[in-house]
Each structure stands twice: as C-alpha cells, then as structure tokens.
Structure 1
Amino acid sequence: MPERLAETLVDLWTPLIILWITLPSCVYTAPMNQAHVLTTGSPLELSRQSEDMRILSRSKRGWVWNQMFVLEEFSGPEPILVGRLHTDLDPGSKKIKYILSGDGAGTIFQINDITGDIHAIKRLDREEKAEYTLTAQAVDFETNKPLEPPSEFIIKVQDINDNAPEFLNGPYHATVPEMSILGTSVTNVTATDADDPVYGNSAKLVYSILEGQPYFSIEPETAIIKTALPNMDREAKEEYLVVIQAKDMGGHSGGLSGTTTLTVTLTDVNDNPPKFAQSLYHFSVPEDVVLGTAIGRVKANDQDIGENAQSSYDIIDGDGTALFEITSDAQAQDGVIRLRKPLDFETKKSYTLKVEAANIHIDPRFSSRGPFKDTATVKIVVEDADEPPVFSSPTYLLEVHENAALNSVIGQVTARDPDITSSPIRFSIDRHTDLERQFNINADDGKITLATPLDRELSVWHNITIIATEIRNHSQISRVPVAIKVLDVNDNAPEFASEYEAFLCENGKPGQVIQTVSAMDKDDPKNGHFFLYSLLPEMVNNPNFTIKKNEDNSLSILAKHNGFNRQKQEVYLLPIVISDSGNPPLSSTSTLTIRVCGCSNDGVVQSCNVEAYVLPIGLSMGALIAILACIILLLVIVVLFVTLRRHKNEPLIIKDDEDVRENIIRYDDEGGGEEDTEAFDIATLQNPDGINGFLPRWGLPTQRWEERNAIQTGCV
C-alpha cells in the first residue's frame, strides 16, 4: 500500500516539476544565427538605430526564440503558460501589439497581445498531435501596421507516460514438439506503446511471464519465449496457458503495463511403442468359411497420435502361418486376420499364431528406449461344418473308341463325405451337359457307360458334368467336369480330296504330267495318313496313261504317248484305287475324267469341243468372232434392202373387193403376237383413200421369212 501511494504522488508531481523546469526556457536569448529581432519606428529612425547598433559593440538584441514546449495531458483551473513574446523595441508604452497565427491559434493557443504571453487553453495529447507550427508578429497597436515580417516558431507537446503497452496481435498460439530440450524457442510476441520512444522511458518496454512458469521463460527485451523445462511430455499434458506482461518505463516502478495470453500446444513425437490390449486372443471359425473372410481383429494401442501411432501387423510364428494372414487397417489402427487357404476340421481343429505390431515411423532420437513393437498370441479354433462330397480328382479325362459296344464301361468317378459322420453318396449326370443322353452312370459306384453309338468324325470330345449328392442331406452336392475323348478307328475309306477334271493337249509330249491329285481320309490315324495309289487290275497296262506317287502323299497322272486326237476320242475315264494304312486297310475307287483339248504351242488350252475342230486352222477365237459379226451385219443390210424394194413394187391402194384377211394369210407366216400388230398399219387398210403414201415397217412377215431362209441356208 505505501508503495502504491508513492507511485500516485510521483505521477501527480512529475508534470509540475517538468513544467517548472520548462518555463524559464520558453523565452530565451538565442545565438545570433537563430535570432529574430522585432523593432519599431519610422524608416529614418530605423536607419539611425542601425547606425547606433553598428557603433555599439555586442549590444543586446530584441526578444528572440526558437521553439517552445508544453506538457501534454496537463489540466488545471487556469490556462497553461507556454511562453512569452517580447522585444526590446517595446518601451513599455503599450504601443506594440502581438499577434499569433497558425496551428491552433485562437482555439488551442491564446496570446496576450499586450504582454506577449502564450497560454494553452485546451488539454493537449501528444499522441494526437506532437507539435504545432505558429507565426508571431509585432504590429503597431494603433495602426496595426507590421513592424517587421512575421516569424515562425514551433510549440512541441512534451510527452508524459499516459499510454500503456498493447499487444495488438494477441492472444497468441504456438506449438513446440514434446520432449524438446531446455531452451527450445517457442515463439516471440510484440507489444507497442503510443508514447514517445525518443523522450524518456515512456516507451521502453520490458517483458515478463506472469503465468506459465516453470515451463516457459521469456527474454525481457526481445520477448522470445523458450522452454524452461526439458522433455515435456504431451501424453502427460498437451496444452499450456502463458500470461505475458509488457511494462514501460524500463520496467521500473510507476510504469504502465499490458498483458496478453499465449497458448502453447505440445506436438506429438513418436516416443511411445505400441502395446496390445491383451496378450492372448481367442477366435473360432467354421471350417467351410469362404477364403478371404475376416476371422478376427487384434489392436495394439499407442499413446502417440497421427502417423506416430500407425503400426503394421505381421504373423511372425505359429502353426497356421500358411493358412492365415493379417493386414493393417489404417482407419481403425488394428490388425485383421483373414483366411488364406481352406480349413478342414477333420485334419486339424485349432491353430496358434504369434502376431507382432510395430510402429511404421520410428524417431531415431528415442530408439534407445527399446524396440517400438509388441507381440501377442492368437488361438484359432476350427468348428465342424457339414461339408459337401469331395471327388477324388478335380477333373476327369476318359477315352473310348468310337466302335465301343453299347453299355460298355467308359470310366469311373469316386467321391466321399469329408465329415466325421460320413454319408453315402449318389451319382448322377447333369443332363444339361448331355442333351443327347449318350452316357449313363451307376448311381452307387459312379461307373460311366455308353448309351448310344459314338462317331469320332462327328464329335471328338464330349464334356459332361457328374453330380455327387449326400443321401442324408440332399442340399450337400458337388460337381465335377468329365471330358470324354472319342478315339479313332479305321472305319472310313480314303477318296479324292475334290472333284478333279484333267485336260490333255493334243500336241502334248509323252511323260507330261496331266494332273496331280491328292486324297483325304475322315479317319485320324496316330501316325498320320499314308495313301497307296494303284490302277484297277484290268487297267494296269493302260496304253494311254500311267501314275506316279509323289513324296507329299499326292499322285501325278502322266501321258504315255503323244498324238491324242479328240475327233477319235474326246474323253477318257481313268479309275484309280486309293488305300489307307489302317488296320485293316480300307480302299475306294475314284475315277478321273480326262478331256482331250486343242492347245496353243505353249500348252495353253484353247478349246475342248469336237465342233471347234473344223474351224480354219490358224485363226484365233477373237478373229472368228469378228468375221461372224461382219457376216451378220451384211445379212441385215441385204434383208433391209430386199424388204424395202418389195414394198415399193406393191400397189398403194387396196381394192374394195380384196379381203384384208386373205392378204395376211398369203404371207404364210405363223402368228407373231405383238410383232404381227407392228407389221401392218390397220388404219391404212381400213381407209386407203386417206393415205398419201406407205412406208414398210421393220419386222414384216416377209422380212422374217427371208431372214429364216437365210439362216437355213447357212448365210448367217
């Protein structure tokens, strides 16, 4: 309490003391280079005074000044005297009047025009305006004429400590990693003071911590906050509230202060290993569970957060490492145990696994604390389930010859019930895979028999599905694919690969290959096809042709002589016997048709018809066609000429007693339908007097008769 009273007295008396010190300096005699002299009088008097001044050495000037001071925030019952304007030219006769103008003249500052005293009539605030520029002037009291030019001076508002420090950006937030060493920098704060920083200590700030110790410290002048305790643990306390104070006057008594808060959050580092919630886990699973199904979850807790708490899970030991796997769930931060391979209760009823959880992100600063991992034991019990029958093989491949007897056994499938209480099995064929019902199966022993004959040439493979069903529980069924391959037997004789027709040139040479033929066999022998070719026994000594076996299993037919004549024989038939290499071998006879043709000198076939033989030798087919076209054109011209001439000689007018029908019949031509209607102009026959002339039309019966006669005589 006494200390508080002392501070109050100091605050009260400090402005008064400063005012007492300042007032004597408000009016003073400045050096020559700063003086402003005000004088009065006429120009003649001024000249005389100047003369006297030069005579007098070091004579005193009139009143002078440079700047004045006034204390801010000062208030009292009377206006504050800031300073006084005075000149030695004033004899005291009150003939000089002082005038004040400029910033705040008349409103803030008031002058006594007789004495020159300047008073502040309002309370001033340096933070609002630090200085005022005013102009002083001395004028004649009666005439108001200036005695000399006006002169400027400054009134400065002198600062007092009337503003407390402020933290403009507060409250503050900062983070620092947990387990940091002593003196780790956290952040820094800044306060501002509106007082004058160049005058006194009003704006000199000193920082301190009011709350937050002993965890943090602050540099008094720079306001840098640091850790004051080493190895602070986030898991023990994550957030701290620090109260910071800034005090002016250099922190001395009587200064003003301001405070702010800083919230410091410790960020996490990986300084804690994962830990399983329990050392032993128990799970049970049915033996028929689907592969990939989640059997159970294990979790290792970590006091850290974020990525520092992420752990990976692995199965490191146990008798079920091949059947089970564990994966990490990043969202739940636990390990999921899943089934990799099928379980069999009858084979093994329980498994033991050793699982491990290890941190993914390791901080080397804390590796000396030990391994950041933990282990736990997992026991998995397999529960019995009613399982479907199991075939002795996942697939079956059977073979049968295509000539196998009906009801003969092709093969057999077997299945068993894997459960402890074994159930009898019944077998059946899925008829959707055997629509033609070519096979049967014994329901008790699974023997497959042939129901209909097989033909390998129609179908080599038959794919059926066998169903095994438990007698005690018909819902437990299994299926197995059975592929039946039909084996070949030699039941097809070979024959020509296609319908061959050979052409023999009349001018051919002996030994010339007429045709090359190949054979085909629908059977499929294991060692491939090998054909034997021969002529019929009665054709062995054929005088015209012979055969030759080629290495590619084909046959070439050769001419024995030349001089074949198509007028004597146009076509030859050559029967060829083809035998395969089967056991027993099969054979067939195919006949090759050989036509004798006329060929060019280079062996190109030109014509194989007998009639073409009478054509002039040496003429090509194109030349013959051209000649024939010319003959036809010539005949057409002749027919037109004869027709026109005949019609010209006939009378133009038909007599009344003539019968038109007799004229038509006289042409002795068969009816031609539309051609007959075009042959005559009926209107002309009915009205011969109205016709000026008659022109015959193409297609008259006479013309057709002449054309027919020409054709019959061989002209066309």
Structure 2
Amino acid sequence: MRITSTSCICPVLVCLCFVQRCYGAAHHGSIKVTRNQTKHIEGETEVHHRPKRGWVWNQFFVLEEHMGPDPQYVGKLHSNSDKGDGSVKYILTGEGAGTIFIIDDTTGDIHSTKSLDREQKTHYVLHAQAIDRRTNKPLEPESEFIIKVQDINDNAPKFTDGPYIVTVPEMSEMGTSVLQVTATDADDPTYGNSARVVYSILQGQPYFSVDPKTGVIRTALHNMDREAREHYSVVIQAKDMAGQVGGLSGSTTVNITLTDVNDNPPRFPQKHYQLYVPESAQVGSAVGKIKASDADTGSNADMKYTIMNGDGSGVFSISTDKETREGILSLKKPLNYEKKKSYTLNIEGANTHLDFRFSHLGPFKDVTMLKIIVGDVDEPPLFTMPSYVMEVYENAKIGTAVGTVTAQDPDAANSLVRYFIDLNTEEDRYFTIDASTGTIKTAKIFDREETPRYNITVAASEIDNPELVSHVPVGIRILDVNDNPPELAREYDIIVCENAKPGQVIQTISATDKDSSANGARFHFSLDEGLSLNPNFTLRDNEDNTASILTRRRRYSRTTQDVYYLPVLISDSGTPPLSSSSTLTIRVCACERDGRVRTCHAEAFLSSAGLSTGAIIAILLCVVILFVFSLAIVVLFITLRRSKKEPLIISEEDVRENVVTYDDEGGGEEDTEAFDITALRNPSAAEELKYRRDIRPEVKPVPRHQPSSSLDSIDVQEFIKQRLAEADLDPSVPPYDSLQTYAYEGHRSETGSISSLDSATTQSDQDYNYLGDWGPEFKKLAELYGEIESERTT
C-alpha cells in the first residue's frame, strides 16, 4: 500500500527492509523510500505536484497459532527524521494496538503478544505516527498499514450433513450415482494446500466407490441383489493437504439401502394341494386358503389368484387378500355329498405389477393344482320351496285346511320328517299343523278388516335327529267376504238456503265400505222406500259412488221449520249385497244472493248475543252456584227455626257476614238510580237509542223508532227477537263476546212482578209456569222463604 504525504514541510519516513521477508515475506514488512512524482486525479483532470517524500507500505505478516514463550516479532517502523538520538517517538494505534500488538516507541519494533486465529480474524488495520519526543509534535502525518494473519493447517475437513441415509434400486448398472458428499475446511483455500481436500472410501468396498475430487459415491458392482443383501454402511474420508502425509482428515458414514424391483416371480411351495370341505358349508363362506411366495416386497409382491380350469370352477371362486397376499377360496353353490364327492381346480398366482426391464427373468406367475374333498354330514330336512303363500276366507270355520308344506331328508338315509309351528308371536297361535303331513289348518275365526295377513314360520326336523331343524316362512292371506254394509264416508252438515230453488244440488255425499273393493266397489244410493214421498228433498244417484241431495220446492222458512231429516239407503255390490240406512240432517239458513250463508236458526241466539260456548258454560255454572247458595240459605233458616233460637235482629247498623237479606223489590221499571236500564226499559218509554257501554261506536247509528201502536202490542219473545236482529246488523258491536241481559217483563204484564219477595204467606197464587222445568223448584223456594219472613216479622 502506498501512502503519499501531502505536507511540503514534512520530512520523509524511511522504512527499513528486514531480512525475513520482502513483499510478501512470511513474517515481516518492509519500508522503502521513493522519490518520484505522483499524480492526483480530480475528476478527469491530472494535477501535478512537486515530488514528495512518502511511505510505501507492504503488508506485515504474523503467523497464527504462535505458541512460543516470547512475543512474536512482526516488523519495524523507522523515520528518516530519526537520528538515533532518541528524540523520535513512535506511536501505534488501531485494531489490537496496545493489547495484541505493541511497539517499542524508541526503536519502532512491533511484536504480537497473543496467539491469533486466522479463522476468527484474517487481518488487522493499524496506524503509525512519528512525533518529536520533546515537543510532542508530529514529524510525519499518520499512516495506515495492515498486519495479515498467515494461515497454518490447523482445521480438519468436516462433513456438515452426515451421517447420510440413501437408497439405490437393486440390479442397478455399475457406476450408478448414489450420492455426492461434501466436506468443508476452515483453512485458507488461497494459501498452500491447507484447504485442498481429497476423498477416499474407508469401508464399503468392493460394492461402492467414491470420486476423490468431487465426492460422488457410485456403485462398484453390476446387478447388486437386494434379496442377497439389502443394507450397506459406507465410510467416506476427506483429507486436506491434497492427501499428503501430515494432512488432517474427517470422515462420515453413508447408510445405503437397496430398494426392491420386481425381479423374482411368484412360486407355489407345492404343485399339488388337497382341501376338505363339508357339504354343510354355507354358500358365500370361505372354505380354504392358498398362497404363492414371492421374494420381492411391496407392490412388487402383489398377487392375483385365478381359477384357470377344472370341474369345480363353477362351484368355487377365489379372491385375493391384499394384506396377507393369500388366495381365499369361497363356495358359490351348495355342496351335495350324495351327488359329487370331490372337485379339482387349477389355480394360478401372478404378479400384478411387472417391470419389463426384468421380463427375461419371468414368467412372473405360477400354477398349482387343488383337489377338494367333499365331506358327508347329516343335513337337516330340506323344504321343497324357499317360502310359501296360502289363502283362506275370513269366514272359514275352525279346522279349515289352508295349505301344506313339504320337506324331506336330503341324506341317503331319507329319515322321516316331523313338522311344527314356531310359537314366537300371537299370530302363530291362529293356526295348527299336522306333524306328519305338514297340512296347516285354522285355529281361530279371522276378521280380514282387522288383520288381512298372517306370517308364520314352519319348522321341520328329522325324527331320528331332532336337533337338525330347518325353517321356512309361510304367508297366509285372509280373503274377504261381504260382511260389512256400506256407510256414509263422514258426517255431513247440510245447509239449504231459504231462497233455494227447485232442483238445486245442496250436497254431494259418498260412502265407504270396510270390505275389499271386490265387495263394495259400486254403491247404490236411494231414499227409504218405506216412507212416503218427501215433498222437500230428493236424492239422485250419480253412479260414481256418490249421490246428490236436491231441493224439490221453492223457498224454505226458518220460522216455519229450521231442520229437516232425510233417511238415505246405501247398498253395495257384494255377494250377497248389504245395505244400511243413514239419516241426513238439513238445516235451513238465511243466505245472501250469491249463496253465502248469513245465519242459521240454531246459531241465531248465540251469534246475536255474542256468546261463545265458553261463555254459555260460565253462565250455567253461575246459575248452579246461585241455586246452591240459595238452597244453603233456606236450609240455614230452617235449622235456626227448629232450634228455636232467638230471631235474628236485623237492622241497618247490624252487618252480618253470613246472612244477606233483600226486603226491597225496587222501584220497578221507573227506578234508574241503581243501574242503567236503557237496554231494558219499557219500549213505550224509549225515545232515543243509547249507545252500548262496552264499546265506543265509530259511526253514530241512526235511532230506530217504532210506532207506539206496535209497542203496545209487542210481547217479550218478539221484543227479544227484535233486539237480536238489531245486534246482528249493528256495525258497532265489538268483535269479542259480550253478555247482555234482558229483564223486561213485557208491556202491561198481567202477572205483575216475578219476584217472590212480596209473598209473605205460603198460600201464594203466583204462576211459575213461565220458568219451565225450574218453575216448581222456585215455587217451593218461595214458599219456604215466605214462612221464614212470616216468622221473622212475628
């Protein structure tokens, strides 16, 4: 490295040349004095300066791994300003200065105090300067130089990826590449032979070889056989110094496995086999195994077995077990010792995966002969059919023969057979069987409409060996007889409009029959001929198992008659034919012009009053509770009377919890202080219509007035009907159920008040007939209450 001084006044440093090395010597650097003209380039222009004295530095070298007792000498620094009088002081700075490298500040000698490792650090950059010892001023500008660590062979080659595991196909050609191994050396590859590695094989000959320069491992033999030897352990060595004596070395192991190829055909261990199979073997069951051996492994040893020929090829089949590579022999047809006692099969075993490179080693298949001996066994009876189907009529008498099953002993002995029914279910008890003949008979009376089919199981066993039993299913169908008359398909709710016209169809009816279609497919409809001609309705048979109900006159009135009854006769087409009579109920309803039903008489009160079924039940319960409560009060007074206790002192201030008396009948229809009786007031006094208090009508209805002449003659029944009709047509009624009571007795009632409070004696001539069935009960109650009142006032 050349360092040029840029100062005009600086003296020139002179580098002393040392003996050990010059320009690349092993241990020392040297300094030379140059007196020449330098060039300074700035951009593209050369600038010429006056010749300057400067330092020209060569690299200093220090040997690594120095183990001597004294510091290792590196080199010497010297300035031409140094006159040898000790006035010049040398200073060393930079990497390792003062620790690794020290300098004699008087002589300029540099020494290394520590052992260095080139593999950790290859060189050090330092700076040198000469100063005046008296003034401490620099005599030269600071200069830079390098101390390079020189390599020695202190690192052995290493295999960083070992040990290795590799495979190579068997029967490979000699020289087939197996693997390339690489060793690394940490020494300097640019200096000497310290990092020059060569490869050699220490273990694995003569099967494998290694290239000394590249480290490629190859097969060294032709057609290596896996079946002879499968695994090899090869040791490879790497040595530096180009393999010379004194070089360092490292080794690794390469485990080589030969992979299989299909180079071995299958072979049966024997050419003849014999197999025993009893004749009782079930069809589809495995009866034996056979196997061909193959020295190969994996898919190269996969096998397929085939029956080539023989008299048993139609009776037996063979398949391959993929796990065990065995041939599984199965039975295709039942065996019969009495008919054939042995079979012969030729079985082939062949590889399924072939390698055409080794086809010359074939053929890859083998054939063997298998003889099958059929063994004689005592077999159970055999039925002539796999199943039986029988029929019997449902009106058959007990003991009627249904059918016969037949079984026989298949063995040569031909033993007698005994029959019986397995009593597993209740259905099996409906039949019996003759143990000798196999004839099945009925044991109960059947109803096809209840159970149309029975399934039983018949068993047969040999008399000589009862443990050998065979079973057969028997299905028995119950045949139909015409024992059920036809009837209406459902209950019909027939409605006829008041404005109906003659000949109008008001309902279409249909029928059903529990018997089968053969005994009830065609139904006939008619009116009961025993009755007189119906003037209101008629029936038309549509001849399609339906009939139509038609009107016979114009207009119907609910007030005159709101319900009609129409008897209908229905007959089937069975043998003998059966018939039944049903009565249809026809209601008269008010309808719109388009035929929509508006209201019916049976629903008038409920719809107008706005009462549901639940509301009616609640009202009836309230009536019953009130009746029971009243009866309890009467019983209480009678008990008090008989015990002759002091009469009850009733006053306005005396409040009792158990007895409540009402001695005021009220002011009648004119009393409006206690409650609003607008809805119940005398029609003659009704001047305007008041709104119902349970709803707020959106549209104020138009008041309805009646002439006083009609109001004078109106009775209670007509008054209630009128109010019902008004409620039906009132658009302001609520959508929910409401209760409206009418206690109006009628205009100018001759009977007077219906209350029993004014009857102080038991000789009351009050008429209670208007209460219907409840009249006598209330009459008795009034009489009892009169006696109590009489006693109380006394």
Structure 1 length normalisation: TM-score? 0.68
Task: Please tell me whether residue 311 in structure 1 is matched to residue 303 in structure 2.
Answer: yes
Distance apart, 1:368 and its partner CA: 5.4
Alignment partners' CA distance in 1, 2:314 and 2:386: 22
Change beyond 3 A, Cα 1:139–1:383:
same
Distance apart, 1:136 and its partner CA: 4.2
Match of residue 328, structure 1, among 320, 323, 333:
320
Change beyond 3 A, Cα 1:628–1:195:
closer
Task: Please tell me whether residue 484 in structure 1 is matched to residue 476 in structure 2.
Answer: yes
Which stretch shifts more, 135-144 or 323-332? 135-144
Q: Which runs of 5+ in 1 are unaligned?
A: 1-15, 36-53, 609-614, 651-661, 687-716
Which stretch shifts more, 145-154 or 199-208? 145-154
Matched with 1:635 is 745
Describe the SS at the equivalent of 2:761.
helix
Does the aligned pair in 2 maintain the 1:573–1:591 contact within 8 Å?
no
1:485-504: CA deviation from partner (whole Å, max 9, x where unpaired)? 34445667778888999999
Change beyond 3 A, Cα 1:510–1:276:
same
Alignment partners' CA distance in 2, 1:214 and 1:27: 57
After superposition, residues 636-651 of structure 1 pair within 5 angstroms as none
Change beyond 3 A, Cα 1:96–1:424:
same
Distance apart, 1:131 and its partner CA: 3.2
Task: Please tell me whether residue 178 in structure 1 is matched to residue 165 in structure 2.
Answer: no
Does the aligned pair in 1 maintain the 2:482–2:519 contact within 8 Å?
no
Matched with 2:213 is 221
Does the aligned pair in 1 maintain the 2:239–2:250 contact within 8 Å?
yes
After superposition, residues 156-195 of structure 1 pair within 5 angstroms as 156-195=148-187
Task: Please tell me whether residue 302 in structure 1 is matched to residue 294 in structure 2.
Answer: yes
Matched with 2:785 is 676
1:374-414: CA deviation from partner (whole Å, max 9, x where unpaired)? 34333333323332221111222223345556645432211
Alignment partners' CA distance in 1, 2:384 and 2:25: 120
Change beyond 3 A, Cα 1:381–1:641:
same
Alignment partners' CA distance in 2, 1:278 and 1:518: 83
Does the aligned pair in 1 maintain the 2:23–2:59 contact within 8 Å?
no
Matched with 2:30 is 27
Alignment partners' CA distance in 2, 1:342 and 1:636: 102
**What is the letter of the counterpart of residue 415 of structure 1?**
A
Describe the SS at the equivalent of 1:284.
strand
Alignment partners' CA distance in 2, 1:195 and 1:571: 126
Task: Please tell me whether residue 248 in structure 1 is matched to residue 240 in structure 2.
Answer: yes
Which stretch shifts more, 285-294 or 636-645? 636-645
After superposition, residues 70-81 of structure 1 pair within 5 angstroms as 70-73=62-65, 81=73
Describe the SS at the equivalent of 1:29.
strand
Describe the SS at the equivalent of 1:301.
coil
Distance apart, 1:471 and its partner CA: 1.0
Distance apart, 1:22 and its partner CA: 3.1
Change beyond 3 A, Cα 1:519–1:333:
closer
Distance apart, 1:199 and its partner CA: 1.6
Does the aligned pair in 2 maintain the 1:90–1:96 contact within 8 Å?
yes
Distance apart, 1:357 and its partner CA: 3.5
**What is the letter of the counterpart of residue 745 of structure 2?**
L
Which stretch shifts more, 482-491 or 574-583? 574-583
Which stretch shifts more, 328-337 or 595-604? 595-604
**What is the letter of the counterpart of residue 664 of structure 1?**
T
Matched with 1:393 is 385
Q: Which runs of 5+ in 2 are unaligned?
A: 1-18, 39-49, 603-713, 729-739, 767-778
Matched with 2:708 is none
Change beyond 3 A, Cα 1:26–1:396:
closer
Q: Over aligned residue pairs, what C-alpha RMSD do you find?
A: 5.7
Alignment partners' CA distance in 1, 2:265 and 2:242: 50
After superposition, residues 406-425 of structure 1 pair within 5 angstroms as 407-425=399-417
Change beyond 3 A, Cα 1:448–1:17:
same
Change beyond 3 A, Cα 1:526–1:218:
same
Distance apart, 1:474 and its partner CA: 1.6
**What is the letter of the counterpart of residue 781 of structure 2?**
G
Does the aligned pair in 1 maintain the 2:207–2:219 contact within 8 Å?
yes
Alignment partners' CA distance in 1, 2:247 and 2:504: 136
Change beyond 3 A, Cα 1:150–1:179:
same
Which stretch shifts more, 435-444 or 419-428? 435-444
Alignment partners' CA distance in 1, 2:538 and 2:582: 14
Alignment partners' CA distance in 1, 2:755 and 2:551: 62
1:110-141: CA deviation from partner (whole Å, max 9, x where unpaired)? 65666545455666554454334444444567
Does the aligned pair in 1 maintain the 2:520–2:573 contact within 8 Å?
no
1:28-56: CA deviation from partner (whole Å, max 9, x where unpaired)? 42545899xxxxxxxxxxxxxxxxxx9xx
Match of residue 268, structure 2, among 248, 270, 276:
276
Distance apart, 1:197 and its partner CA: 1.4
Identity among equivalent pairs (%): 51
Structure 2 length normalisation: TM-score? 0.62
**What is the letter of the counterpart of residue 391 of structure 2?**
E
Change beyond 3 A, Cα 1:20–1:469:
same
Distance apart, 1:188 and its partner CA: 1.8
Does the aligned pair in 1 maintain the 2:344–2:372 contact within 8 Å?
yes
Distance apart, 1:425 and its partner CA: 0.9
Change beyond 3 A, Cα 1:201–1:620:
farther
Change beyond 3 A, Cα 1:315–1:678:
farther
Aligned residues: 626
Which stretch shifts more, 222-231 or 585-594? 585-594
Change beyond 3 A, Cα 1:368–1:674:
farther
1:663-710: CA deviation from partner (whole Å, max 9, x where unpaired)? 534655644269938996987x47xxxxxxxxxxxxxxxxxxxxxxxx
**What is the letter of the counterpart of residue 676 of structure 1?**
Y
1:194-215: CA deviation from partner (whole Å, max 9, x where unpaired)? 3221122322222233443443
Does the aligned pair in 1 maintain the 2:487–2:582 contact within 8 Å?
no
Does the aligned pair in 2 maintain the 1:308–1:359 contact within 8 Å?
yes
Task: Please tell me whether residue 337 in structure 1 is matched to residue 329 in structure 2.
Answer: yes
Which stretch shifts more, 414-423 or 445-454? 445-454
Matched with 1:50 is none
Distance apart, 1:189 and its partner CA: 1.7
Alignment partners' CA distance in 2, 1:72 and 1:572: 135
Does the aligned pair in 2 maintain the 1:400–1:487 contact within 8 Å?
yes
Which stretch shifts more, 423-432 or 90-99? 90-99
Does the aligned pair in 2 maintain the 1:19–1:71 contact within 8 Å?
no
1:589-647: CA deviation from partner (whole Å, max 9, x where unpaired)? 85979999899998999789xxxxxx99xx99965955999997552686799769999
Task: Please tell me whether residue 446 in structure 1 is matched to residue 438 in structure 2.
Answer: yes
Does the aligned pair in 1 maintain the 2:199–2:215 contact within 8 Å?
yes
Does the aligned pair in 1 maintain the 2:503–2:551 contact within 8 Å?
yes
Change beyond 3 A, Cα 1:546–1:175:
closer
Alignment partners' CA distance in 1, 2:426 and 2:55: 137
Matched with 1:664 is 761
Matched with 2:617 is none
Change beyond 3 A, Cα 1:261–1:18:
farther
**What is the letter of the counterpart of residue 348 of structure 1?**
K
